[in-house]
Copies of this chain bind each other. A is one copy, B any other.
Amino acid sequence: MKLTDEQLETFDREGYLFLPSVFSAEEMAIINAEVPKIHALQREEVWREADGTTPRTAFASHTYNEVMRRVTYHPRLVEPVMQILDGPVYVHQHKVNAKAAFDGAVWQWHQDFGTWHRDDEMPEPRAMNIALFLDDVTEFNGPLWIIPRSHKAGVLAAGHDLATTSYPLWTLDRETVREMADAYGIVAPKGRSGSVLMFHSNLVHASSPNIGPWDRNIVYLSLCHVDNHIRKFKRPEWIAHRDFTPIVPLPDNCILTIEEQTEAAE
């Protein structure tokens, strides 16, 4: 899977690229079967909403779940990022965000690189998110909202919000968000389970609470060019990884072959 020149130009200009139906329904069924198991785990990497029970996000499940490991090393996710970042990448962060029906809380307006730079001393925005929609994403389950072209502004001033949700975040002030949204608008890419959204690490984004009756699970891979690895090890290693080994993408059919390979190994 190679991005075209037109896609690369779009990404550079708009700061994001939406790729519908990158994974098949058969692949998604295998991946989705793992999600409730991961979110049910009582381990420190699985964060709850402020209510103490609803899953909010599970970090680093690729380190202990074989399906998530294969998702993380999947060529359809890793190769487009290697192409844009122009070189080998490592896994900086891996999350399965839940945004649970009725209870999933807000993600405030922020830039990812702002957090990576301030908290982890990542030198440059040579890192980015690629998100895999596990559920269909609609306007009714808290889709990601992004401000196109906002990545060109560089790292914006931010404050460390420790109060709004269970997850600390460097968030942007309202005047900045309003000015940018007035200038560039807001978009919310939507699509079927198996669709992929990649976005620049300086792109301004947020997502609404989910008041609807349908879950919205998404895998977020944050991949970083190996030369651009983090310098400060303040956050737990399962939030900001310290293993900078370049990813070697797995074969394209690695999700579908998991069952036979797992059986063969038993």
Could you tell me which A residues sit within 8 Å of B by CB distance?
101-102, 106, 108-109, 139-140, 145, 174, 177-178, 181-182, 186, 188, 206-209, 211-214
Contact = CB atoms under 8 A, between A and B. Distances in A.
Contacts of A181: 212-214
B174 A212 contact: no
Contact of A178 (B106, B177, B213): B213
Given A106-B209, A139-B188, 15 more contacts: A102-B174, A106-B211, A139-B139, A140-B186, A140-B188, A145-B211, A145-B212, A177-B213, A181-B212, A181-B213, A181-B214, A206-B211, A207-B211, A208-B209, A209-B211
Contacts of A106: 209, 211
9 contacts: A101-B174, A106-B211, A139-B188, A145-B212, A177-B213, A182-B213, A207-B211, A208-B211, A209-B209
Contact of A174 (B140, B182, B188, B213): B213
Contacts of A209: 106, 208-209, 211
Nearest to A188: B139
Contacts of A186: 140, 212
Question: Across chains A and B, which 7 residue pairs bring their CB atoms closest together, nearest first?
Answer: A178-B213, A181-B213, A139-B139, A140-B186, A208-B211, A177-B213, A208-B208
A25 to B, nearest CB: 19
Task: Report which residue of A102, A108, A139 has the largest number of chain B beta carbons within 10 angstroms of its beta carbon.
Answer: A139
Nearest to A105: B209
Contacts of A102: 174
Contacts of A140: 145, 186, 188
Contacts of A174: 101-102, 213
A33 to B, nearest CB: 21
A178 to B, nearest CB: 4
Taking each of A140, A182, A211, which has the highest tally of chain B beta carbons within 10 Å of its own beta carbon? A211
A108 B211 CA distance: 8
Nearest to A212: B186
A139 B213 CA distance: 17
A5 B212 CA distance: 33
Contacts of A108: 211
Nearest to A107: B211
A212 B102 CA distance: 19
A44 to B, nearest CB: 28
